[in-house]
């Protein structure tokens, strides 16, 4: 699945995740964004472990990281990296990160690049 960012048609600012109003020009109030694919590769800027996430995640410790993609956009995602280190190269995929009943939530998951 493609990772999509949202580019403001008025000023060109790229957003992720989706925003209703452009954070740069603030003038885009009509959802005038173009979906553009984001690069999958980036570097790990910071990470943390979420302890005791909701039971349906089925893990006791959930590693979360912030990754700066090759175009400078920062995204938050789950890490599937045994020993994450700051600045390491990672590669993102869009996966189901949370499931409850029939509802699937997609999010970013990062692997070592």
Contact positions vs Zn ion (CB under 5 A): 8, 10-11, 13, 22, 24-25, 28
Cα separation, 75 vs 18, in Å, equals 11
Q: How far is the CB of 12 from Zn ion (least distance, A)?
A: 7
Residue 6 or residue 110: which is nearer to Zn ion going by CB? 6
- Measure the CA angle with vertex 88, ends 94 and 104; round to 5°: 15
Nearer Cβ to Zn ion (25/45): 25
C-beta closer to Zn ion: residue 7 or 98 = 7
Other CB atoms within 10 Å distance of the CB of residue 21: 13
CB 61 to Zn ion: min, Å: 39
Q: Give strand ranges (E) for 19-60.
A: 33-37, 41-51
Cβ 5 to Zn ion shortest distance, Å: 13
Label residue 87 left, alpha or beta by phi (over 0 means left) and psi (-120 to 50 means alpha).
left
For residues 8 and 109, which CB has a smaller minimum distance to Zn ion in the complex? 8
Question: Residue 110 Cβ, how far from Zn ion at the closest point, in Å?
Answer: 28
Distance CA 9, CA 28 (A): 8
């Amino acid at each position: 699945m493609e990772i999509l960012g949202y580019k403001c048609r008025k000023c060109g600012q790229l957003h992720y995740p989706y925003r209703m109003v452009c954070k740069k020009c603030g003038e885009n109030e009509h959802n005038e964004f173009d979906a553009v694919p984001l690069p999958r590769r980036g570097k790990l800027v910071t990470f943390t472990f979420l302890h005791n996430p909701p039971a349906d995640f089925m893990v006791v410790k959930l590693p979360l990281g912030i990754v700066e993609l090759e175009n400078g956009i920062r995204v938050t995602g789950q890490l599937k990296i045994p020993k994450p280190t700051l600045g390491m190269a990672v590669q993102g995929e869009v996966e189901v990160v949370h499931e409850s009943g029939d509802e699937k939530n997609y999010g970013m998951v990062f692997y070592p690049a």
